[in-house]
Structure 1
Amino acid sequence: MADLDDLRHQVALAPVAWVWSRLKGGQQAVALRAVDRALDALSGIVEVQAAPRVLASRLTDRLGEAGGEALVRDPMGWLLGRGLIQRPACPDLRCDDGIRLDTGSDCPTCGNIVHIRRKLRAQVTARVEADMPSRDPAARRSEVERRLREETVLEEARAQSRRARVAREVEQRQEAVARRRSAEEDAELARRQAPCADCGMPECAGLCPACSFRRRTESLMREAVDLAVAVRADLSDAAAVAELTQQCETDTRAMLVLACERACGPDADPDLVAFTAPQVAQRIRDERHEAAVRRLLSSAEAVAEADSVYEACLRRRGRGAEEAAEQAADAAGRRTAELLLRQRLGELHAARQRATMAVAAA
């Protein structure tokens, strides 16, 4: 097999090397195309890397049936008609001569078919013996075979009916998929052609880039303001919360404008400023978050948790593990601070909702 360049061909055809050597150049080209088709079919059943080994195993079994390479009189016809083709013994596409290609074990579907056929023969035989008790055994066997042929014809008709029904169901599913795909394409086209919800610019998928940047900036600004208010305000005092929120929002927006001017220049293009604003707002939000966590690290809850973890780490590891204990304590304190921050943000939102409901009720 040294003349084959493809390693997959070498592995698959290794069991029939002598048969392959008897093929002429044109025959080898035709046989290689058949090998590729067989490998492609096997790649849909087993892993692509395992397909050559499975095909080699099939060729080995086929040679065993023929009695060895020396008894293969027509190498080309044997390869195309016997060696390379799959011979399913049942409707399972993974079956090859009663063996599952993906597992290498006996095909369970074939076993079920054999069991069903034996059961049918036993039932027909029992009915014939009940109907013809006085006839000789040869006549009863003939009647059994006749009735089995009739049952086979009826079963084939039923199988054809099932296949036709399955084919109709498949066609209906394909039509449903095509309709759904068409509807999704129409919806996607409508979405792309939709004008901007904020400025009305046509064909910008519902939101133009400038408005998208603006919405992102506004969201980050609200988060930055909430982070500052949550750790500084008395959340039980609605008036104090509203006042501090307004003050923080004014200061944060002034900070955003100043940072954008520094990054883009005083006379920068508005599109550049719109593009830069979310990045600056992200940085401001992250700085506010870090400042809020640092502020809460000195809270009684965070300090108590850090001290508890420090002592527990020392008790577990003993003296000499102070550095590891400090690291564990710092991590525990930060986790507690993050938890406290989330709690205070939730309390802030609840306070604002209560204030809104009170105004609406008034």
Structure 2
Amino acid sequence: MCEDQAVDGETGVAGAGSAMAEADPLRGEKPKEAPVDEEEQAGALTAGAGARLTVVGGRQTRQQGRSELPADLDLRVALTPTAWLWKRLNRWQQDRVVEATKTELAQLRRVLEWQAQAPSVLAARLTSRLEETGGEALIARPCGWITRRGLVRRPSCSDVRCDDGVRLDTGADCDNVLHIRKAWRMRIATEVDAGLPGLETNARYREIEARMRRHAESEAADLVARQAEARERETQRAAARADAEVRAAVERERAAAEAAAQQAVACEECGRERSAGPCEACDHRRQTEALIGEAGLLAAAWSAGLTDPSSVAAVTAEVRTAIEGAIAAEWAEFQKITDLAALEAAGPDAVEDAAAYNGLLAAESAAAEDRHEALVMLGRSEDTQAEARKAYATELAKPWYQALPDSDDALRAATEAAAQAQTRTAEHLLAVRLEQLRTQARPEPVRPAPWSQRLPEFAVRPIDS
């Protein structure tokens, strides 16, 4: 009766495992409690209120581990390849794995150029180690494998960025001399085994060392040759740079001499000395004359008959008179607001230059106004209006406006399309008419007379052999 009461009064662990309770010996036969493993006892003591305890090996209990990976994103990414092993760990082992993972992530962040790559690099390392092992199912002790083999960096040389002969920062093969010599030895050993099979160990070792020595001597000679070639190329580049500098200096001197000679040339029109060709006043007058002619053509393009030379000449003369009057008015206004004495004191040709520049500004303004007026008048022509109406109808005929052709959006888009078509047509008509006027004003090319007419005394002479 007492034994039954003791069993009924035990915790849910004994109640849940009735088969084990029946197999236990009597209290008199087991006077002492069974020893508990230190790690499992420590895990059980530190278990929280929500920890789950499971029966293992008699009455010993352990704290069951978390089934999900850590919530931290870096840890989750790094430990994803070992997710199945993670479920086999208890709570204490999972904490040890998390600590080891954080330590390795910190080391990787010190080595990598981009610290955010550390979790993915560690995950790739775990994946590679699992492939070497043969899979998770062959791992008997998950905690020890993860902390002592999977996470640990295996340097093959003294470089802190080397892991199994691969650079952590670039993913390429490590270029340390140890790896190079190791690759040499492996290749030479393969050649010896293939070419001289059956050699004893000492003879094989001596043959490998002899070939390694010859290979090193060849590499050293090749290095010396490459260094000599590099020095020769550097010498050639230095000589080429020196020649280029000499040529550049000569070119600069020639350009300076040409500029000085050009500066000493007098103006072709007014004879002003040291004006480097046409002086400022003469250049402005040339531009003004060209603008007056352009303004005359712009006005004649819409107001005169293109096939009537007299009409074109009349319009051009009228425009010239108007622009010259505007230039005179602008110069008179300029004289009212400017002290000419002070302007003359600035230089002997300052007044003349100012007058020429003032005329250029007036001509530019008049030409711009004539161009705008020509576009406006050509925009009212029948051809331009027809193009505008066609563009308006085409815009309204688009599928997205057919449902509501009278809406504000449709009317606005059609109006903009018509305005653009009108502007483009007016510009095209203006360009065509200007080209026609320029062609009519261009003089016919004078063909030279044949040499027999220009040199009749030589034409009558017979040509000998």
TM-score by length of 1: 0.57
Separation (CA, whole Å) in 1 of partners of 2:311 and 2:180: 80
- What's the counterpart of residue 328 of structure 1? 417
**Structure 1: unaligned runs, 5 residues or longer:** 1-56, 63-86, 90-97
- What's the counterpart of residue 24 of structure 1? none
Amino acid at match of 2:435: G
- What's the counterpart of residue 232 of structure 2? 165
- What's the counterpart of residue 444 of structure 2? 356
- What's the counterpart of residue 295 of structure 1? 377
1:243 is aligned, of 296, 307, 313, to 313
Separation (CA, whole Å) in 2 of partners of 1:190 and 1:219: 33
Separation (CA, whole Å) in 2 of partners of 1:61 and 1:234: 84
Q: Offset of 1:152 from its aligned partner? A: 1.5
Separation (CA, whole Å) in 2 of partners of 1:187 and 1:326: 61
Q: Offset of 1:300 from its aligned partner? A: 2.3
Q: Is the 8 A contact 1:99 1:107 kept in 2?
A: yes
Separation (CA, whole Å) in 2 of partners of 1:117 and 1:343: 80
Separation (CA, whole Å) in 2 of partners of 1:240 and 1:109: 89
Question: For the aligned residues, what is the CA RMSD?
Answer: 4.5
- What's the counterpart of residue 330 of structure 2? 260
Higher relative contact order (CA 8 A, sep 6+): 1
- What's the counterpart of residue 142 of structure 1? 209
Q: How has the CA–CA distance of structure 1 residues 334 and 161 changed in structure 2, closer, same or farther, with 3 Å as cutoff?
A: same
Larger radius of gyration: 2
Q: Is the 8 A contact 1:228 1:248 kept in 2?
A: no
2:248 is equivalent to residue 181 of structure 1: yes
Amino acid at match of 1:61: V
Q: Is the 8 A contact 2:295 2:366 kept in 1?
A: yes
- Tell me the alpha carbon deviations over residues 79-135 of structure 1, each in whole angstroms, 9 at most, x when there is no partner: xxxxxxxx9x9xxxxxxxx979xxx63569969xx8999589848975997699979
Q: Is the 8 A contact 2:378 2:429 kept in 1?
A: yes
Separation (CA, whole Å) in 1 of partners of 2:367 and 2:389: 30
TM-score by length of 2: 0.46
Q: How has the CA–CA distance of structure 1 residues 177 and 148 changed in structure 2, closer, same or farther, with 3 Å as cutoff?
A: same
| Greater shift in the superposed pair: 162-171 or 294-303 | 162-171
- What's the counterpart of residue 228 of structure 1? 299
Q: Is the 8 A contact 2:331 2:358 kept in 1?
A: no
Residues 67-86 of structure 1 mapped to structure 2, 5 A cutoff: none
- Tell me the alpha carbon deviations over residues 45-95 of structure 1, each in whole angstroms, 9 at most, x when there is no partner: xxxxxxxxxxxx999339xxxxxxxxxxxxxxxxxxxxxxxx9x9xxxxxx
Q: Is the 8 A contact 1:221 1:285 kept in 2?
A: yes
Amino acid at match of 2:229: R
Q: How has the CA–CA distance of structure 1 residues 323 and 242 changed in structure 2, closer, same or farther, with 3 Å as cutoff?
A: closer
Partner-residue secondary structure (3-state), 1:265:
helix
Amino acid at match of 1:274: A
Larger helix percent: 1
Q: Is the 8 A contact 1:132 1:140 kept in 2?
A: no
Q: Is the 8 A contact 1:225 1:245 kept in 2?
A: yes
- What's the counterpart of residue 367 of structure 2? 285
Separation (CA, whole Å) in 1 of partners of 2:173 and 2:297: 65
- What's the counterpart of residue 434 of structure 2? 345
2:355 is equivalent to residue 273 of structure 1: yes
- Tell me the alpha carbon deviations over residues 272-298 of structure 1, each in whole angstroms, 9 at most, x when there is no partner: 212222211110110111011012102
Amino acid at match of 1:340: L
Q: How has the CA–CA distance of structure 1 residues 187 and 340 changed in structure 2, closer, same or farther, with 3 Å as cutoff?
A: farther
2:384 is equivalent to residue 306 of structure 1: no
- Tell me the alpha carbon deviations over residues 13-47 of structure 1, each in whole angstroms, 9 at most, x when there is no partner: xxxxxxxxxxxxxxxxxxxxxxxxxxxxxxxxxxx
2:95 is equivalent to residue 60 of structure 1: no
Q: Offset of 1:163 from its aligned partner? A: 1.6
Q: How has the CA–CA distance of structure 1 residues 214 and 144 changed in structure 2, closer, same or farther, with 3 Å as cutoff?
A: farther
Partner-residue secondary structure (3-state), 2:214:
helix
Q: How has the CA–CA distance of structure 1 residues 156 and 289 changed in structure 2, closer, same or farther, with 3 Å as cutoff?
A: same
Q: Is the 8 A contact 1:305 1:333 kept in 2?
A: yes
- What's the counterpart of residue 406 of structure 2? 319
Q: Is the 8 A contact 1:192 1:206 kept in 2?
A: no
- Identity value in percent: 22
Separation (CA, whole Å) in 2 of partners of 1:219 and 1:120: 85
What number of residue pairs does the alignment pair up? 266
Q: Is the 8 A contact 1:224 1:285 kept in 2?
A: yes
Q: Offset of 1:203 from its aligned partner? A: 5.0
Separation (CA, whole Å) in 1 of partners of 2:222 and 2:214: 12
**Structure 2: unaligned runs, 5 residues or longer:** 1-106, 113-158, 341-350, 450-465
Q: Is the 8 A contact 1:228 1:288 kept in 2?
A: yes
